[in-house]
Amino acid sequence: MDRKRLLEHKVRNGLQQLGLLGLLALLLGYLAWVVGGESFLWGTLLGVGTLWLINPVASPRLLVRLYGAIPLTPRDTPGLYGIVQALATRAGLERLPRLYYLPSRLMNAFATGRRDDAAIVLSDGLLRRLERRELIGVLAHELAHVANGDIQVMTFADTLSRITSLLALLGQILLLLSIPALLLGLATPPLLALLVLLAAPTLSALVQLALSRNREYEADLSAAELSGDPVGLALALDKLERQQGSFWEQMMLPGRHLPDPSLLRTHPPTQERIARLMELVPDELPSRALAWPLDDPRELLALLGRGIEGAPRWHITGLWH
């Protein structure tokens, strides 16, 4: 593992995260000052600070129940839990995340919850198509989200974004109510305040998207550090891109090769993520790479005894499965 390059990336990602959260807080604070003045500004900042300390996160049990995921026990999948235990120990997690199986053809994995109460969900399509080395990389990536507190960070950012949009709406309503005074020349609102009121929801959403991409990069780097094998995750990302791209091309997005605007991506470009991971590959074999046996995914699926019928369908949570 190229430790110097890893440290450089982590420092850069950390500074970007602080800058983006600061920008969200600054935008929210300015809106609070425009709408309600100095006292309202300090009250809003106090409320934001309280939210950061409390930072409620939805229960992982509730989320996995919405998706219809099936719990996996250490007795059923000892090898899989053995890998997660090793990764969690390296990440400094005191409590092991619970694993769930999602009966979906699509290749997908996600983590939810806090460091002391987390869940990692693996789809049927992911278990069927990934090799053991690739699956370890994906597990490390999802566990890195838990260890880095990314769920809490993104929940906090989403809360700030929603409050910003609410204040912007309130400011626009007040502006409409003051139109008679404006027409009579009794009031002249600052041009900057008008622009911020109109652009605040879009700006906060763009900052939130940028923060999401930042946390994905950081999770990739942390996963490489935890597993000791950046190549495994890089291979998994490449396979995920090719498999999911094939599905979308056939089902929904025949024009997907047209590049999306970079500002509107919730995840960084896959090739960029792979390139950053490959920069960490040393000349010699990584000394900390996990090499323990993992459950054969086919045996796991047979144990579950679940069949996948019909085409993937859209769920209210936004996931196709």
* Alpha-carbon gap, residue 310 to 105, rounded angstroms: 9
* Alpha-carbon gap, residue 243 to 110, rounded angstroms: 17
Beta strands in 259-307 (DSSP E): none
Q: What is the SS3 assignment for 105?
A: coil
The two three-digit tokens of residue 231, written as one number: 């190549």
- Residues ≥6 apart with Cβ < 8 Å to 306: 70, 101, 103, 124
From edge to edge, which strands make up the β-sheet containing 109-114? 70-72, 98-102, 117-123, 109-114
* Alpha-carbon gap, residue 81 to 187, rounded angstroms: 66
Active site residue 142: yes
From the candidates 94, 134, 142, 309, give the one annotated as an active-site residue: 142
Backbone angles phi, psi at 72, to 5 degrees: -110, 130
Report the catalytic residues: 142
